[in-house]
Amino acid sequence: MGRLLKGGQVVNPVTGSIASLDVLLEGNMVAAMGADLAHTDHEVIEVTGQYVLPGLIDPHVHLREPGQTHKETIATGTMAAAAGGFTQICCMPNTAPVTDEEQTVRYIREEAQRCGYATVHPIAAITTGLRGTELTDFAALRRAGAVGFSDDGRGVQSAAVMRQALLTAKALAAPIVVHAEDETLSAGGCVHAGEAAQRLGLRGIPSSAETVMIARDIILAEETGAHVHMCHVSPEEAVAAIRAGQGRGVRVTAEVTPHHLLLTDAELETWGALAKVNPPLRAERDRQACIRGLLDGTLSMIATDHAPHTEQDKARGIADAPFGFVGLETSFPLLFTAFVASGVMPLAELVRLMSTEPARVFGLRGGQIRVGEWADITVIDPRQTRVVNPAEFRSKGRNTPFAGRVLAGWPTLTIHAGRTVFAS
């Protein structure tokens, strides 16, 4: 028996259109779409007044498994993804052990498939142990299912190593996913080098620590013809460098996080270590530059950089607490409220940034609802408002500076491969 999503507004992020269409699912595929489809012998799911989207795709998530399952597991992380409307996520390699061997890539994929909440695409390490010296076996990792290569959490400090990584990844048609951080500039820093750091007496991380590495890797990508993807871009100067590289035809893409679009380092004085993230929340001019970069296409997708930590870890104070906070369950309503409900961008554009473009850049299926395609679908209710309550998260992580915000546009139904994985 098929399942019929009845009465919804189907969003097409490619054409920008929104149309009143029913969507028929049979098995794990989209079988038909049309106005007022007959529902004989089908289970009817009433979604009148709600938007029907292609499943969201997050290109940057930390699942913590293997090695730190007290912070998150593949099961809890993918449950959180489903609750946030995500049907596919790309996970970073800074696990323990590091995702630098085939068996770890296969384990992550198989465990996610066993759990069934979302498809997980591992991003494997560029260098063995994230040490920045010896390249991993890119070809073997690619065969095992890696969709890209990154030393996320660490910047590759050697230009020679990065150049060789780009050449090796190019031959495999895979992107190098850059955590841009010059550790000679960032060493010892814990927050943005700005007024908040001065008031709090904390050592800052200058914007140049990120920007100079982005500029270096754009030059190397230009020289090699490889595809370089910039993670969690935050300073104004980095946005400008990426825009200039794209203007010269360099194969450079970039992502931005909800927190770098919505918050500044002033949040440190309210939220303390809950607002500590790497790269750090920066100044208002940087936040505005990220918004401009998103709107003009320089930053072509949104990534949560979901980074769960324990309450005890974050209670150690700003200087000593680990970087990062969770984002899978709040990112869509945060951005829907900030940008769509306010009229800054149309809904179809937000969906393109959170589904279609990650699928395109990382070579994934999805990003559009079409007959004959995989049934990954997210339904959101634009009228539903809720308060962000970390106690209700599916993730083990409760660490967020967005607690207490009243947001609209929450997912009400997530369907992965034709199966309901979340319903509110």
CA 347, 392, 73, 257 torsion: positive or negative? positive
**137 is a catalytic site residue:** no
Whether the Cβ atoms of residue 53 and residue 38 lie closer than 8 Å to each other: no
Rounded to whole angstroms, the maximal C-alpha distance in the chain is 68
Q: List C-alpha distances in Å: 188 to 193, 202, 231, 277, 363.
A: 12, 10, 21, 14, 37
Q: Following DSSP, what letter does each residue of 18-32 receive, concatenated?
A: EEE-EEEEETTEEEE
Closest to 180 (Cα-Cα) out of 252, 261, 238: 238
CA 363, 365, 367, 372 torsion: positive or negative? positive
- Give 355's DSSP letter: I
- Give 53's DSSP letter: E
Burial (0-12, 13-18, 19+ Cβ within 10 Å), 200: middle
Cα angle 377, 383, 380; round to 5: 10
Catalytic-role residue among 151, 286, 305, 381? 305
Closest to 266 (Cα-Cα) out of 197, 186, 201: 197
Point out the residues that are catalytic: 305
